[in-house]
Structure 1
Amino acid sequence: MKKSQMGILSKESIEGGVLMDSDLKQTNEPLVADLQENIHKMKQRMGNSTDVIVREIKLGMMDVKACLIFIDGLIDSNAVNDFVLESLMIKNDYLSSEKLKSEGNVLQYLKDYILTTTAVKHDVDDFNGMFHSLLSGSVILLMDGHLSGFSISLSGWKERAITEPTSETVIRGPKEGFTENLRANTAMIRRKIKSPDLWLETIQIGSLTQTDVAILYIYGIANEKVVKEVLTRLKRIDIDGILESNYIEELIQDEAKTPFPTVFNSERPDVIAASLLEGKVAILVDGTPYVLVVPALFASFIHSAEDYYHRADIGSLIRLLRYLGIFIALFAPSIYVAVTTFHIEMIPRTLLGSLTAQREGVPFPAFIEAMIMEITFEILREAGIRMPRNIGQAMSIVGSIVLGTAAVEAGLISPAMVIVVSITAVANFVIPSNDMAISIRLMRFPFIFLGASFGLYGISLGFITMVLHLSSLRSFGVPYLSPFAPFDFQGQKDGLLRAPIRSMIFRPKLIARHNLMRQRVRRPK
Structure 2
Amino acid sequence: MHRKKSANHRQVEELPLLPEYKAIPVEPSVERNVERLLGDFGRSDDVIVREIRHAGAESAAAAVLYIDGMTDAAAVNSYVYDVLSRSLNDAQGGEEAAEGPNKAALAGELVFGIGAVRTVSELASLYGSLLSGEAVILLDGSKHAYCADIRHWKGRDVTESTNQTSVRGPRESFTETLRTNTSMIRRKIKDPRLWLETHAVGRLTKTDVTVMYINGIAKPSVIEEVRSRLLAIDIDSVLDSGYIEELIEDGKYSLFPTVYNTELPDNVAAQLLEGKVAIVVDGTPNVLIVPTQLVAFFQSTEDYYQRAFYASLLRLLRFGSVLISLLLPSLYIAITTFHRDMLPASLLFNLSAQREGVPFPAFVEAIVMEITFEILREAGLRMPRAIGQAVSVVGTLVIGQAAVEAGIVSAAMVIVVSVTAISTFTLPAYSMSIPIRILRFAFMGLAASFGLFGIIMGFFVLLLHLCALRSFGEPYMAPFSPYVSPDIEDTIIRMPRWLSLKRPDTSVGSGGRRQRRRW
1: CA distance between counterparts of 2:113 and 2:373?
57
Instruction: Kindly state the Cα deviation for residue 502 of structure 1 after the two structures are TM-superposed.
Output: 1.3
Q: 2:271 aligns with which of 262, 269, 275?
A: 275
Match of 1:33 in 2: 28
Report the alpha carbon displacement of residue 113 of structure 1 after superposing the two structures with TM: 2.9
Asked if the contact 1:66/1:144 (under 8 Å) is kept, the reply is yes
Counterpart residue type for residue 394 of structure 1 = A
Distance in 2, matches of 1:469 and 1:157, equals 46
SS at match of 1:117: helix
Alignment size in residue pairs: 501
Deviation at 1:86, TM superposition (A): 2.2
Contact 1:59 1:66 in 2 (8 A): no
1:146 aligns with 2:136: no
Kindly provide the CA deviation profile for residues 54-93 of structure 1, in whole angstroms up to 9, marking residues without a partner as x.
1001489999710011111111111111121222224898
Superposed displacement of residue 176, structure 1: 0.5
**Structure 1 range deviating more: 125-134 or 454-463:** 125-134
1:246 maps to a residue whose letter is G
Alignment match of 1:43 (pick from 38, 41, 61) = 38
Name the TM-score, length of structure 1 as normaliser.
0.92
Q: Hey, what does 1:234 align to over in structure 2?
A: 230
Question: TM-score w.r.t. structure 2 length?
Answer: 0.93
Q: Does 1:52 align with 2:47?
A: yes
Structure 2 matches for 1:182-331, cutoff 5 A?
182-331=178-327
Is 1:456 paired with 2:452? yes
Alignment partner of 1:73 is 2:69: yes
The 8 Å contact of residues 61 and 95 in structure 1, kept in 2 or not, is answered as no
The answer to whether the 8 Å contact 1:61/1:91 transfers is no
Q: Which runs of 4+ in 1 moved over 2 A?
A: 23-28, 58-64, 86-108, 113-122
For residues 49 and 113 of structure 1, what CA distance do their matches in structure 2 show? 31
Structure 1 CA distance for aligned equivalents of residues 226 and 296 of structure 2: 19
Say whether the 8 Å CA contact 1:362–1:411 is kept in structure 2. Answer: yes
Q: Deviations over 1:90-126 (max 9, x none)?
A: 4898656437569998332211135643343321212
After TM superposition, the structure 1 stretch with the greater mean CA deviation from structure 2, 405-414 or 511-520, is 511-520
Residue of 83, 90, 94 corresponding to 1:87 = 83
**Paired position in structure 2 for 1:5:** none
- Distance 1:114-1:486 versus aligned 2 partners, 3 A rule: closer
1:146 positional shift: 0.9
Asked if structure 2 preserves the Cα contact closer than 8 Å seen for 1:59 and 1:95, the reply is no
1:135 aligned residue (131, 149, 152): 131
CA contact (8 A) 2:107 2:117 kept: no
Cα distance in 2 for residues equivalent to 1:383 and 1:228? 42
Distance (Å, rounded) in 2 between the aligned partners of 1:258 and 1:82: 55
Contact in 2 for aligned 1:294/1:475 (Cα 8 Å): yes
CA distance in 2, matches of 1:123, 1:27: 15
Amino acid at match of 1:404: G
| 1:484 Cα offset (Å) | 1.4
Aligned counterpart for 1:121 among listed residues 117, 128, 146: 117
CA contact 2:277–2:289 (8 Å) conserved in 1: yes
Distance 1:196 1:102 in 2: 47
Aligned-residue RMSD, C-alpha: 2.1
Identity %: 49
After the TM superposition, which of the residue ranges 507-516 and 215-224 deviates more from structure 2? 507-516
- SS in structure 2 opposite 1:379? helix
Distance, in Å, in 1 between the alignment partners of 2:54 and 2:511 is 56
Q: 1:394 & 1:60 partners in 2: Cα distance?
A: 70
